[in-house]
Structure formats: structure tokens, C-alpha cells
Amino acid sequence: MSNILETDGEQLLQAVLGLLAKKGIASPLDIQAQIASTDNATPGQGARMVAKAWTDPDYRALMLEDGTKAAEALDIPMRGMPPLGVMENTSDTHNLIVCTLCSCYPRAVLGYPPFWYKSAGYRARAVRDPRGLLAEWKTVIAPEVKIRVVDSTADYRWMVLPMRPAGTEGWSEAQLAAIVREGDMVGVTVPSV
């Protein structure tokens, strides 16, 4: 038996793909489709959900009840993805998402996690000193507003539904989606115009 560490990578990949197909775990087409949906996922997907929630109360209710269904309602592929939960920012509560154990991230709706989300510094400080961390993002949360740090430890993935900023009255969904950034849906920043 040859040494796996010295085997040509492409040959090894083909062997694993062959075994996955032979054992009925995943066909080459399944794998291609999963790679495509992972690569196509961007924060723009989550931003569309946020913009729709800001303009459609029924959609907002669905999003808070079942994030996966709300994503699927906008044709965002969720097959094989962990369930999506949505935490709503209000005038009383600001949510901040972190994964202290690794880098769990709502990839289906936000794409690949940014480098800082995976850093040991962010992961440690988000739970111990969230206000100090937010201050470095120039995000000031009033002292009377509760910060709720959501540590994504298990089977769900979490995103934040930020508050719609003033000055966006009468805007279209597309205009609204354009101002929603990745950080707004993690809770390190808030949308502004």
C-alpha cells in the first residue's frame, strides 16, 4: 500500500470521489452542485432577505420563525445546509454572532466567513468584552440596550436581522439590500446611510 501523504492529490481525490459514489454517499454531480452553491453564496443573499423583511411584515415573521424557509422562499439553496436561525435587532437588544469553538457561520446566506470571524481574538473577546470589541468596529451600542452574544456552538447557524436605518423611507428592496453588509448580519456593525 502506498503512502497516502505521497500520493498525487488528483489521484487521491478521484479515488475518494469513486468511493463516495460507489457507497452511495454522494455522486460526482451532488458534489459539483454543493461546490457551486457554496461558491455562489455571498452576503448579497442575506442582504436580500434583510431587505425583504424590512418591507414585508409577513416575510419578517417567517424569517424569525424559520430562517431556512425564508431563505428558500428567495430561491437561496439550503439543501444539505444546517438549519438557519435569525436573531432580530430591536431598540432593546443588539445581537452579536460568534462561534467560540470553531468558525460556524451561516454560509448559505453569507458565503465564506471573513478572516476576522475565525480569529482567536474575535472569538474570545466577543463573549468576554463585546462592547469593547464593537467599539473597535466604531459600533456604539447605547448602555441601556442589551447586547446578546449568540455563541454558535452546535447544529444551527445564526444571522442577525439588523434594524432598518432612518433615511431609507420609500426605498425599494434592491436599494435597501445594497446598504446591508456582511458585518451588519453578524452584528459587528449596523447599517447606515
Total Cβ atoms within 10 A of residue 92: 9
Active-site residue identified among 27, 37, 103, 119: 103
102/174 with CB nearer another protein:
102
Shortest CB 156 distance to another protein, Å: 6
Q: Cell 460526482, residue?
A: 28
Backbone torsion region of residue 75, taken as left when φ is above 0, otherwise alpha when ψ lies between -120 and 50, otherwise beta: left
Is 158 within 8 Å of 86 (Cβ atoms)? yes
Active-site residue identified among 2, 37, 91, 104: 104
19/127 with CB nearer another protein:
127
Q: Is 104 in the active site?
A: yes
Q: Is 103 in the active site?
A: yes
71/84 with CB nearer another protein:
84
Active-site residue identified among 2, 27, 91, 102: 102
Q: Is 2 in the active site?
A: no
Binding site for another protein (CB under 8 A): 83, 85, 87, 100-101, 127-128, 130-131, 146-156
32/153 with CB nearer another protein:
153
Shortest CB 144 distance to another protein, Å: 9
Is 94 within 8 Å of 144 (Cβ atoms)? no
Backbone angles phi, psi at 129, to 5 degrees: -145, 65
Backbone angles phi, psi at 126, to 5 degrees: -60, -35
Q: Cell 444551527, residue?
A: 156
Shortest CB 76 distance to another protein, Å: 21
- Find all residues with CB under 8 Å of 110, minimum gap 6, and list them: 41, 42, 43, 45, 46, 159, 182, 185, 186
Shortest CB 62 distance to another protein, Å: 17
**Residues annotated as catalytic (active site), given as ranges:** 99, 102-104
